[in-house]
Amino acid sequence: MDKKLLVDNIRKVPDYPVKGIMFFDVTTLFKNHRCLMEIVDSICEMYRDKGITKVAGVESRGFVVGAAVAAKLGAGFVPVRKPGKLPAEIVSESYSKEYGTDVIEMHTDAIEPGDVVLVHDDILATGGTASAAVRLVKKFNPKAVYANFIIDIVDIPRSRPIPSDVEVSSLLQLSEK
**Positions marked active-site:** 61, 98
| Phi, psi for residue 35 in degrees, rounded to 5 | -65, -45
Compute CA 160 distance to the chain's CA centroid, rounded to the nearest angstrom: 15
